[in-house]
Amino acid sequence: MPRIGVLALQGDVREHARALEESGATAVSVRRPAELETVDGLVIPGGESTTMWKLADTFEMLEPLRLRIKDGMPAYGSCAGMIMLADRIEDGIEGQQTIGGIDMVVRRNAFGRQVDSFESDLSFAGASIHAVFIRAPWVESVGASVEVLATAEPGDRIVAVRQGPVLATSFHPELTGDVRVHEYFVNMVREL
Q: What is the largest CA-CA distance in the chain?
A: 43
Q: Tell me the whole-structure pTM to 2 decimals.
A: 0.95
Do residues 98 and 83 make contact, with C-beta atoms less than 8 angstroms apart? yes
The vertex-73 CA angle with 72 and 77, nearest 5°, equals: 115
pLDDT of residue 149: 97
**DSSP letter string over 153-177?**
TTTTEEEEEEETTEEEESS-GGGTS
Calpha distance 186→2 (Å, rounded): 7
Nearest 5°: phi and psi at 174? -70, -15
Provide the residue-wise pLDDT of the chain in tens; the chain has 192 residues.
999 999 999 989 999 999 999 999 999 999 999 999 999 999 999 988 999 999 999 999 999 999 999 999 999 999 999 999 999 999 888 889 999 999 999 998 777 677 668 899 999 998 999 999 998 999 999 999 999 999 998 789 999 999 999 999 999 999 999 999 999 999 999 998
Residues annotated as catalytic are 79, 172, 174
pLDDT of residue 115: 67
pLDDT of residue 155: 81
pLDDT of residue 95: 86
Q: Which domains does the chain have, with CATH numbers?
A: 3-191 (3.40.50.880)
